[in-house]
Structure 1
Amino acid sequence: MAARSYYVLFDRTATWGHPGVPQVLAVHPQRDHKRRTFSFEHAPLPLPAMAQSWLIHRGCPPDAIALAPLGPPPADEATRALERRLAGNGDHYAMGYSYTSDDPEDIVIVVALRALDERAPSPFRVVVEEVDTETWTHTLREGGFDTLGEAPQWCDDRLTGESGPLPPVRPAAAASRPAGLPKAPAPRPPGRSR
């Protein structure tokens, strides 16, 4: 038996607990065979891709964490691409708020994130997973916000059915620079001259 394991679990009991709590658990057991003991870390997270990211950043090989769907399959390539990006670089963000609604009339998960890099474009993000109960698929989309208050407000508005479309994520400055233009010189430390 391996000394370390990695699991992404669906918590069926969460729906009966406090409204809105995450229904996905990332679990990382560690065994000490000599002492015949074990310890584990775990984290409730709103999206399977976020659970994958949490486990990858605790040593799980990225190619070993593929999941059987924990719910409806992705509806499109945009959903699959965002799931891969969240699993791969989810450690670039801190989760500030999430709400999971399993209301059969509107199955939705909203997550507000803050970029850990203060220079990131659209430093506050919202990720929204919506389930289409007719096709039994889900979509995952991301929007970008400039201020702390805007992201959770959009989430609240989405949960009450009053939100507009997600604003686009601003591209990074390097990506928006026209081709062929040189990069700006790196800033020099103060007090040094050429």
Structure 2
Amino acid sequence: MDLASMSEQHRADGDRHASFYVLYNTAHMHDDVPGLPAMVAVRVQRDRAAGMFEMEYAWHPLVAMGEGWLVRRGADQTAFTRQGPIGPADRETERIEALLRASGGSGRFTVHDDYSFDTAPYDTWVIATDTLAADPARPVRVFHDRRQIDNDTHTLREGHFVSVEDARAWTDDLDSPLPPPALSPSARAAAALLGSSAAAAGWARVVSTPPPAAPPPGNGRPPSR
């Protein structure tokens, strides 16, 4: 495994030091199992007085999701320093990344599927249920990330779906439009009620370590989780 830093944060409190990393597995394209997440979030806690340290890590398909996992473990969501050369292409990408980063500690999203391609343009998609969906009739989201090779940027977009099955069907054609939410007055009222409830702590899915099992051959999509 060959790891490159994508995002970092370091904090100190006396003799106790904490470091938070999101690292990219540059060798993931050579994995035996296609589609596995390429990002690993790592928390390192050091106690210099005691001469001890502890470490935990988990795999994630997107950098912002790894940062969100670290926020739940003590990182400041506003203090990450991006290290990699690939930056967000636009403000919409920044907005969605901020949403995912903040939601890592709120339990807002339940992740069902994800897939990370190891060939250009290095698409990554994630299917998740949003417990605070603005449109309760479309609670399932697809987050689709695509890299622009020529200028070292990436574009992150989201689509809103009625069901996980509909979202999975969309992933068969990653160039098709992502559906936006469609709010009726009654849906807005329901969303207001939903938004007033407190979310459970942490991502609703605990990311596996090591990464999840292989997808069945031939369909280009990981198994349901």
For 1:38-187, list aligned pairs within 5 A.
38-68=53-83, 70-90=84-104, 91-104=107-120, 106-116=121-131, 121=136, 122-158=138-174, 164-170=176-182, 176=188
CA contact (8 A) 2:135 2:182 kept: no
Deviations, residues 123-167 of structure 1 (Å, cap 9, x unaligned): 211000112223332111000111121112222432xxxx62111
| Unaligned stretches of 5+ residues in structure 1 | 178-182, 185-194
- For residue 52 of structure 1, give the secondary structure of its aligned residue in structure 2: helix
Say if 1:74 and 1:119 are closer, same or farther in 2 by CA, change over 3 A. closer
State the match for 2:217 in structure 1. none
Deviates more, 1:116-125 or 1:27-36: 116-125
TM-score (structure 2 length as normaliser): 0.67
Say if 1:119 and 1:64 are closer, same or farther in 2 by CA, change over 3 A. closer
Say if 1:96 and 1:71 are closer, same or farther in 2 by CA, change over 3 A. farther
Q: How far off its partner does 1:82 sit?
A: 1.1
Larger Rg: 1
CA distance in 2, matches of 1:174, 1:53: 32
Q: Which structure has the higher relative contact order (CA within 8 Å, separation 6+)? A: 2
State the match for 2:44 in structure 1. 29
Q: How far off its partner does 1:66 sit?
A: 3.1
The percentage of counterpart residues that share the same residue type is 32
CA distance in 1, matches of 2:28, 2:167: 24
CA distance in 2, matches of 1:103, 1:19: 11
CA distance in 2, matches of 1:174, 1:38: 52
Q: How far off its partner does 1:54 sit?
A: 0.7
CA distance in 1, matches of 2:186, 2:171: 29
Amino acid aligned to 1:166: L
| Unaligned stretches of 5+ residues in structure 2 | 1-14, 194-225
State the match for 1:192 in structure 2. none
CA contact (8 A) 1:142 1:169 kept: no
CA distance in 1, matches of 2:85, 2:34: 19
CA distance in 2, matches of 1:67, 1:108: 20
Q: How far off its partner does 1:39 sit?
A: 2.3
TM-score (structure 1 length as normaliser): 0.76
Deviations, residues 66-102 of structure 1 (Å, cap 9, x unaligned): 323x352211111111111111124310221111113
CA contact (8 A) 1:11 1:23 kept: yes
- Kindly report the root-mean-square deviation, in angstroms, between the aligned alpha carbons of the 2 structures: 2.8
Amino acid aligned to 1:167: P
For 1:2-13, list aligned pairs within 5 A.
2-13=16-27
Q: How far off its partner does 1:35 sit?
A: 4.6
